[in-house]
Structure 1
Amino acid sequence: MGISPCLKKHFDELCLNSCLGLSSISYNDITPYNSADFIIKVPYAGKKLKWDILFDPDDFTFPPDFDFNDDCFLADPDLEILEQNAPSLENWNLDNPKMLAIILNEFLEYYKKLQIEKLKIENIYSRYYEEYEDLISGDHIKPEDVQVSVDSSNMIIFLIEIKLDLTALIEYCNDLELLDLDSNIQLKITINKMDGSNTKSYIQYPPQMEHLFGDHPALPKFGKEVPIKEYVAAVNEMLTQKISHITEGCRLRKEFIRSIYALCRSYTVEVDTKHFTRIIILAKHQEYSCLVTIIAGNKFPQEKPIIKLSSIYCQEGKSCNKILPKYQYNTALGPDKNAYNLVKSLPQLICQMKQHKC
């Protein structure tokens, strides 16, 4: 059974235009029991809280009820607590599609408040409360950038949003043109023992950036002797350097492909003008022609481009290709000079294809 039409705009707003805390959700996180009752998976500190939202099926203008499926969180809510921490619930407005997201965020903020209070009050966690206070006391990490979870097994999770300047990266990497400049990288730190002897860290990129970073880079070592604030600063520095490296690679790859195109404009068959990773030209030498595909990958210029020769004379149904293992390339020369040397050597290179046999 689907969502009632009068509620659909609320869930559209929630899934398409809003965030819950530090994360967004999709329709996959919402399961209808019927047209008026739902279970929603609310992201918090790297886990999913399962909250029930219960509407009056006879009158959706009434505020929804909530069941948080957690004996430690609003299991028997006091009216005054609700008024203080979720004031928008009383002001529910069916005509305002942002209302559901606003209310959920108010409840999530109260949930976070209780988690931090637990960190503060219980002596076993005192070290990490002090580290939390130290973390948010600087200029870079604000309270709204951090989520803290303390579970019944005494495991603590910090989810920290790291804000980086992506302007230059977006300028040179056209496939990131739709990336919001406010999109941030999230660092998850899991502390399994209170002495810090068993900790894990993990980093999550916005989906648009994952292919650029490839495999998740090795993070700085985090252990009991490293304060969280110091560790976050080390991760920030590592990511800043990584983004700078990727940006420079994108710039040089773009310059290389553009240089090839400028030298071979009249016989270019295809050029990738979005990612600047590939150009195909129809090269000719002594009445013999073949297609030359030049591919510059994400590790350019450290890794030389792939050069593939393809015959245009083979029998129908056959495709004869040859990858050139050796050709003149020197990282130190820069993209313009390497492009010039490659184009200059094309007649010699395609001679290798002229002698092939199908």
Structure 2
Amino acid sequence: MNNMSPEVALHRISPELRPLLCSVVRNGRVGLDSTNCLRVTDLKTGCTSLTPGPCCDRFKLHIPYAGETLKWDIIFNARYPELPPDFIFGEDAEFLPEPAELPHLVHWDAGNPECLLQLVKELIQQYHHYQCQRLRESSRLLFEYDSLLEDPNYGRNMEIYAGRKNSWTGEFSARFLLKLPVDFSNIPVYLLKDTALDPGEDVALLSVSFEDAEATQVFPKLYLSPSIEHALGGSSALHIPAFPSGGCLIDYVPQVCQLLTNKVKVFALTQFTSSALRCSLCVCIILGYL
């Protein structure tokens, strides 16, 4: 059931609810990681066994967020499909969204196929604020967040997953996921858009995990969208520096951006030079035959 394709899942959903779910599974790219879509698993029904199918009206929604996968239960009532759904937020029992900040819940419109997807996006936005508030448990991590927030290059393109306890030490820890402001327009389109790869946005994401509240153990990792990784020669083509002892994100992140920018420039120049040489060779061959 967990490996069910989106189309199979849609055919198991109650027909009255199907348009809402269709928008989620077909257009559900949310957050910074555009290569991962919303997924639906664990389809169930609250109807009696005498109800003719398909009648599934509840499911688990998998949401990519800050390098984690949130698993929220969404519960409709197939007998009253005009009503908005209930949500259960998995392990985040303390996450209590403010209804007034959820216009697509307050003004729920079951006849609008986009209504559920827009509601999920509003909930994710509130979840982001909830995670940012949890950073207050660590003055050091709160400083890292506030410093990035003041920079327009990073503050608007950041996801936080905070407060999880390190399974070994019990320490407060957090992960920052940032979309790097790197220009990929110089990479030739014919190399960038491989039809066999994911068609999502060309993006570079930097994940930085703080395994303790004092930032003594920090682990950065760079993620490139499939098309960018393919164009630059694979995941091994770029090695980012280790996070320096006593360093800060507001100093480290620009270094990674510059490193990746330089890599793109060198790659683009190499491709341009190679193309020019090929053109010159073709001209010489043609002239040789004249």
TM-score > 0.5, shorter chain as reference: yes
Q: Residue 216 of structure 2 contacts residue 246 of structure 2 at CA under 8 Å; is this kept in 1? A: no
Partner residue of 2:202 out of 183, 187, 192 = 183
The one-letter code sitting in structure 1 at the alignment partner of 2:126 is Y
TM-score (norm 2): 0.78
Cα distance, 1:113 vs structure 2: 1.1
User: Aligned residue for 2:49?
Assistant: none
TM-score (norm 1): 0.64
Task: Show the 5 A alignment for 1:226-305.
Answer: 226-264=247-285
The CA distance in 1 between the partners of 2:57 and 2:274, in whole Å, is: 53
Identical aligned residues as a percent: 23
When residues 2 and 13 of structure 1 are mapped into structure 2, their CA distance, relative to the original with a 3 A threshold, is closer
When residues 252 and 128 of structure 1 are mapped into structure 2, their CA distance, relative to the original with a 3 A threshold, is same
Q: Is 2:43 aligned against 1:33? A: yes
User: Aligned residue for 2:221?
Assistant: 202
Cα distance, 1:119 vs structure 2: 0.8
When residues 243 and 62 of structure 1 are mapped into structure 2, their CA distance, relative to the original with a 3 A threshold, is same
Cα distance, 1:189 vs structure 2: 0.2
Cα distance, 1:167 vs structure 2: 1.9
Cα distance, 1:177 vs structure 2: 4.7
Partner residue of 1:2 out of 6, 9, 16 = 9
Q: Is 2:19 aligned against 1:14? A: no
The CA distance in 1 between the partners of 2:217 and 2:23, in whole Å, is: 40
User: Aligned residue for 2:235?
Assistant: 215
Structure 1 gaps of 5+ residues are: 267-339, 344-358
Q: Is 2:74 aligned against 1:67? A: no
Cα distance, 1:225 vs structure 2: 1.5
The CA distance in 1 between the partners of 2:121 and 2:264, in whole Å, is: 31
Q: Structure 1, residues 115-166: CA drift from partner, whole Å, max 9, x if none?
A: 111112x2xx101101211112123112x31111111331210011112222
Q: Is 2:145 aligned against 1:145? A: no
Partner residue of 1:110 out of 126, 130, 152 = 126
Cα distance, 1:18 vs structure 2: 4.1
The one-letter code sitting in structure 1 at the alignment partner of 2:235 is D
When Rg is computed on C-alpha atoms for both structures, the one with the higher figure is: 1
The CA distance in 2 between the partners of 1:255 and 1:139, in whole Å, is: 38
SS of alignment partner, residue 103 of structure 1: helix
Q: Residue 42 of structure 1 contacts residue 50 of structure 1 at CA under 8 Å; is this kept in 2? A: yes
Alignment size in residue pairs: 256
When residues 26 and 12 of structure 1 are mapped into structure 2, their CA distance, relative to the original with a 3 A threshold, is farther
User: Aligned residue for 2:110?
Assistant: 94
Cα distance, 1:223 vs structure 2: 3.0
When residues 113 and 85 of structure 1 are mapped into structure 2, their CA distance, relative to the original with a 3 A threshold, is same
Higher relative contact order (CA 8 A, sep 6+): 2
When residues 264 and 181 of structure 1 are mapped into structure 2, their CA distance, relative to the original with a 3 A threshold, is farther
The one-letter code sitting in structure 2 at the alignment partner of 1:248 is L
Q: Residue 20 of structure 1 contacts residue 104 of structure 1 at CA under 8 Å; is this kept in 2? A: no
SS of alignment partner, residue 153 of structure 2: coil
User: Aligned residue for 2:179?
Assistant: 161
SS of alignment partner, residue 165 of structure 2: coil
Partner residue of 1:46 out of 61, 64, 67 = 67
The CA distance in 1 between the partners of 2:93 and 2:28, in whole Å, is: 27
When residues 181 and 138 of structure 1 are mapped into structure 2, their CA distance, relative to the original with a 3 A threshold, is farther
> What is the CA RMSD across the aligned residues, in angstroms?
2.7
Q: Structure 1, residues 65-99: CA drift from partner, whole Å, max 9, x if none?
A: 1111125334xx5xxx5322323112222232222
Q: Residue 13 of structure 1 contacts residue 97 of structure 1 at CA under 8 Å; is this kept in 2? A: yes
The one-letter code sitting in structure 1 at the alignment partner of 2:154 is I
The one-letter code sitting in structure 2 at the alignment partner of 1:31 is T
The one-letter code sitting in structure 2 at the alignment partner of 1:235 is V
The one-letter code sitting in structure 1 at the alignment partner of 2:143 is E
Partner residue of 1:127 out of 123, 136, 140 = 140
Q: Residue 159 of structure 1 contacts residue 188 of structure 1 at CA under 8 Å; is this kept in 2? A: yes
SS of alignment partner, residue 109 of structure 2: coil
The one-letter code sitting in structure 1 at the alignment partner of 2:9 is G
The CA distance in 2 between the partners of 1:11 and 1:259, in whole Å, is: 55
The one-letter code sitting in structure 1 at the alignment partner of 2:160 is V
Q: Is 2:94 aligned against 1:84? A: no
Cα distance, 1:205 vs structure 2: 0.9
SS of alignment partner, residue 210 of structure 1: helix
When residues 119 and 14 of structure 1 are mapped into structure 2, their CA distance, relative to the original with a 3 A threshold, is same
The CA distance in 1 between the partners of 2:200 and 2:78, in whole Å, is: 40
When residues 215 and 20 of structure 1 are mapped into structure 2, their CA distance, relative to the original with a 3 A threshold, is closer
